[in-house]
Amino acid sequence: VLNKIDLPGAEPDRIAQEIEEIIGLDCSNAIRCSAKEGIGIIEILDAIVTKVPPPKDTLKNPLRALIFDSYYDAYRGVIVYFRVIDGSIRKGDKICFMANKKEYVADEIGVLSPNQMEADELHAGEVGYLSASIRSVADARVGDTITHFAKRAESALPGYSEATPMVFCGLFPLEADQFEELREALGRLQLNDAALKFEPESSSAMGFGFRCGFLGLLHMEIVQERLEREYNLNLIITAPSVVYRVNCSNNETVECSNPSLLPEPGKRRSIEEPYVKIELLTPKDYIGPIMELGQERRGEFKEMNYITENRAKLTYMLPLAEMVGDFFDQLKSRSKGYASMEYSVVGYRVSDLVKLDIQINGEPVEALSTIVHKEK
């Protein structure tokens, strides 16, 4: 579907050609639509019916339902959105979540129509919600499988994995008396966001605060914005850092997300840091400045492909620590806002890293410590 064709800048013919060249999809039958103008709506609904295959009839199999979203309701606890893949689920059934082994009774189930509408039973292929007095979003994680407690499925649906924080930073309230408010605000955010991790931290310069773990930079920025806007907190945020693996001389491996907890130089054999594979998409005019940025950030150039005549894709292997700073801002400023990026974590590599301490009036301030490459 090619959307928003009513806009003055829309060029559906050029875009269709780009999709064919870059992604390799056949666009000869692409439906052109604009919801605002009412163009193509009937065609889309017809195409869903004719082209999207119906769910398989697996009603006789043991229940397996996939959780795809959940949110916290102050009165009913966690509300889980799920799709029934196999079998059926009834109101009042005793259910079990296969990843965390927790058991509940489905007090209420229903469909979204578009508001929540109660139902007595949902079958294979149907999508709905359930309420079962679940206290924490962490107990109903996205990707988990719901099955019956008595008649359990043999295997869970594939693809579930625990969310592991990749980026860490310290959050300290500007006013010392806001510490309890910050603790409460983080606790409330965690009700809706199972990927947010935090633990108390204290510093001689900053006072009391929290060491927080996030999935990535965007996650960190959203949490920071919400704390400041929704809870009226004024925060000091330390430079973001990543999780390092320290191989100690006694053959132990220690994970270290806080530079102040890095073992002494005499006790460690090597430090490993996480690497990402990063793909940078840019108009060809900005290839030079972007390659310069990649080299500055200890990037290892892999390949360059021209996707279209005027657009190229650069691939680098880059330390995650070099990307969590102002890499994205630099990318945008060097390309006048036209370049974009996506990355995936590929594993750990041994690097020549040292701890950089900052001293104020001769006193080291732990909150300002960072782990950097020896060259820097």
pLDDT at position 37: 92
The confidence band for 159, taking pLDDT boundaries of 50, 70 and 90, is confident
The answer on pLDDT for 10 being more than 80 is yes
CATH number of 248-375: 3.30.70.240
| pTM summary value | 0.67
Report the phi/psi class of residue 125: left, alpha or beta, with left for phi > 0 and alpha for psi in -120 to 50.
left
- Per domain, the residue ranges of the chain are 12-51, 64-148, 167-238, 248-375
The confidence band for 175, taking pLDDT boundaries of 50, 70 and 90, is confident
pLDDT in tens, 84-122: 999 999 999 999 999 888 899 999 999 999 899 999 999
pLDDT in tens, 16-36: 988 888 788 999 999 999 999
The confidence band for 57, taking pLDDT boundaries of 50, 70 and 90, is confident
| 131 φ/ψ angles, rounded to the nearest 5 degrees | -125, 130
The answer on pLDDT for 161 being more than 80 is no
Q: How would you classify the pairing of strands 88-90 and 94-97? A: unpaired
The answer on pLDDT for 260 being more than 90 is no
Binding site for GTP: what residues are annotated?
Answer: 3-6
Binding site: what residues are annotated?
Answer: 3-6
pLDDT at position 225: 93
pLDDT in tens, 266-280: 888 888 999 999 999
The confidence band for 257, taking pLDDT boundaries of 50, 70 and 90, is confident
pLDDT in tens, 38-54: 999 999 999 999 999 98
Structural domain 64-148, CATH architecture: Beta Barrel (2.40)
- Round to whole Å and give the CA distance between 103 and 347: 35
The answer on pLDDT for 191 being more than 80 is no
- Round to whole Å and give the CA distance between 174 and 293: 34
Radius of gyration in angstroms for the set of CA atoms belonging to the chain, rounded to a whole number: 25
Q: What is the mean pLDDT of residues 334-354?
A: 89
Asked if CATH classification 3.30.70.870 holds for the domain at 167-238, the reply, yes or no, is yes
- Round to whole Å and give the CA distance between 245 and 320: 13
pLDDT at position 278: 93
Fold equal for 167-238 and 248-375: yes
The confidence band for 193, taking pLDDT boundaries of 50, 70 and 90, is confident
Quick one: tokens of 10? 């829309």
Report the phi/psi class of residue 105: left, alpha or beta, with left for phi > 0 and alpha for psi in -120 to 50.
beta
pLDDT at position 264: 85
Whether residue 143 contacts residue 160, with contact meaning beta carbons closer than 8 Å, is answered with yes
Whether residue 215 contacts residue 148, with contact meaning beta carbons closer than 8 Å, is answered with no
- Round to whole Å and give the CA distance between 170 and 237: 6
- Round to whole Å and give the CA distance between 57 and 70: 26
Is the four-CA dihedral 80, 144, 241, 202 of positive or negative sign?
Answer: positive
Q: What is the mean pLDDT of residues 200-207?
A: 80
